[in-house]
Amino acid sequence: MERHLSAQQLARLVRIAPGERPYYEALARAVRALVLDGRLAVRVRMPAERHLAAELGISRTTVTAAYDRLRDQGYLDSRQGAGSWTALPDPATLGAENPWLTSEDNGMTPMHAAAPAATTLLPWAMALAAEDHPRYTLGIGYHPMGLPTLREAIAARYTARGLATRPEQILVTVGAQHAIHLVMSLLIGQGDAVVVESPTYPHALDTARRRGARLVPVGVDADGWQLDLVAAAMRQSSARMAYHVPDFQNPTGRLMDDAGRAALADAARRNGTVLLIDESWAELALRDLPPVVPVAGFDTGGNVISIGSASKLWWGGLRIGWVRATAELVRRLAALRASVDLAGPVFEQLVAARLFERIEEARAERRRTLTASLDTMATALRDTLPSWSFTLPDGGGSLWIRLGTPSAIRLADAAACHGVRLAPGPWFGVDGTLESYLRLPFTQPPQVLADALPRIAAAVAAGPNGARPAESLTPAL
Ligand SMILES: Cc1ncc(COP(=O)(O)O)c(C=O)c1O
């Protein structure tokens, strides 16, 4: 039976402070708050615009503008001539207002992205790459699998981490996201089940959704993974693929131990599930931890594919990532890649190859700077927002914060008014869940965090009426 809401009922529920303007935005925000708090259920038919206008004593165009706003943000589904129903947005919806595409240089502090500035080793590596480069300009410049010297360096690093690897097993990509896209494009079809962590890295969810995958979320929390639940999810959904971030998971920062890795690989083998292991943060331990072997080291069925990135250890601006798989799969992925781009830029690959030579220095530098930023952030949070709770991460670049109330999207809106862009929990989940969580990256320097945190606290103190709608439903890094 269809549920519906009368204009009188909705008018009673919405809370708009006197003087809040523009009114249509205030109305949209009030309705959105009701949906997010669960006071207004999803798939409830909204009153006709003219009835609500009459009830609130406002013009019909104002209600139309509010409904349009809600529709743009994913909180209303409308059918021409039939009406509008409450909805929850798809967290990975990439709309025209996507701030990922438009937020450049707008003066906001980018606390929605966990992306550190470049390593101080970058100028050194670039100078050497500039010396290496002329030799390459004599050739055709296209290296569809990646520059041999970089493939060798990446393979050698896997071998050093305990997983013997040959350069033929490496495909160099334009970042790890490119790698995720290639692997999912090759192996996922419409309707295939893909097990994902909840919370997880939003752009991977986006890629899987765009392949038409059925997402099967399994929770990860401060205690880490429940691998029996992961195995059950693989079995019950006949999962084609499972996407995991066992090395300093984004956003929780947890590290899976070797026993967990063995169990994960075993579950994938038994269920015929391809494991896509994202090691983008693998080099970013924040303290000394018992060493772990890459998950592919536990692979006995040939169904583990690993991906990695230069973005977190060195710099996102290099746009270097990779896939490690069988040589045969690497060739198939390279053939697929040729349909979109033919090869990566040579210079950046030379830079990355050089950076591998001094990898331990970069690891130490990141540990030093990220720990300093984390200390600043954790202290400020405990002082100014004591009701928020979090567990200190093993590594990575973000805190996964439990807010205590389902208010993350409203908070992100309010923080935008205070010049800080935040990543609300639902970005990291499936079906609009995780509204009581916020990811706070500590990849910015301490002085930036010391400036941003009081502004976040001010946004919390201002409450919902301190907010203006922001384009908050966008995946983060
Ligand atoms: C888990 C994870 N995978 C992949 C990426 C994308 O990295 P890249 O910049 O190499 O495309 C990120 C970036 O935030 C990430 O956190």
Average confidence (pLDDT) per 10 residues, the chain, 477 residues: 86 80 85 75 90 95 94 89 85 48 67 95 98 96 97 98 97 98 97 96 95 93 92 96 98 97 97 98 97 96 95 98 98 96 97 98 98 97 96 97 90 89 92 89 96 94 56 51
Alpha helices in 192-308 (DSSP H): 202-210, 227-237, 258-271
CA 199 – CA 91 distance, rounded (Å)? 12
Q: What pLDDT does 471 receive?
A: 41
Partnered with residue 159 across adjacent β-strands are none
Q: How far is CA 422 from CA 21, 131, 322, 476, in A?
A: 23, 41, 28, 9
CA 417 – CA 400 distance, rounded (Å)? 22
CA 95 – CA 171 distance, rounded (Å)? 31
With the most atoms of ligand 1 within 8 angstroms of its CB, the residue from 184, 247, 277, 312 to mutate is 312
- CB-CB neighbours of 183 under 10 Å: 25
Atom of ligand 1 nearest to the CA of 177: 11
Cβ 280 under 6 angstroms from ligand 1:
yes
Ligand 1 centre to CA of 203 (Å) is 8
Tokens at 92, concatenated: 């990975």
Owner of token pair 């290639």 = 182
Name the residue among 472, 375, 396 with its Cα closest to residue 428: 472
Ligand 1 centre to CA of 176 (Å) is 5
Largest alpha-carbon pair distance within the chain?
75
CA 424 – CA 475 distance, rounded (Å)? 10
Atom of ligand 1 nearest to the CA of 113: 14
Q: How far is CA 433 from CA 211, 232, 264, 438, in A?
A: 21, 21, 25, 12
CA 319 – CA 153 distance, rounded (Å)? 16
Cβ 245 under 6 angstroms from ligand 1:
yes
Ligand 1 centre to CA of 280 (Å) is 6
Tally of helices (H runs) and strands (E runs) in the chain = 16, 17
Cβ 308 under 6 angstroms from ligand 1:
no
Atom of ligand 1 nearest to the CA of 201: 1
Atom of ligand 1 nearest to the CA of 316: 9
pTM over 0.75: yes
Tokens at 366, concatenated: 């990141």
Give buried/exposed letters for 283-303 (b at 16+ CB in 10 A, else e).
Answer: bbbbeeeeebebbbbbbeeeb
Q: What pLDDT does 95 receive?
A: 40
Partnered with residue 220 across adjacent β-strands are 225
Q: What pLDDT does 417 receive?
A: 84
Atom of ligand 1 nearest to the CA of 249: 1
Return the CA Rg of the chain.
24
CA 346 – CA 362 distance, rounded (Å)? 22
Cβ 172 under 6 angstroms from ligand 1:
no
Partnered with residue 84 across adjacent β-strands are 78
Cβ 314 under 6 angstroms from ligand 1:
no
Cβ 316 under 6 angstroms from ligand 1:
yes
Q: Give me the helix-helix angle, 346-357 and 122-137, nearest 10°.
A: 130
Ligand 1 centre to CA of 349 (Å) is 17
CA 181 – CA 176 distance, rounded (Å)? 9
Strands 241-244 and 193-198: parallel
Partnered with residue 44 across adjacent β-strands are 3
Q: Is residue 277 within 8 Å of residue 295, measured between CB atoms?
A: yes
CA 146 – CA 134 distance, rounded (Å)? 17
Ligand 1 centre to CA of 80 (Å) is 39
Ligand 1 centre to CA of 477 (Å) is 6
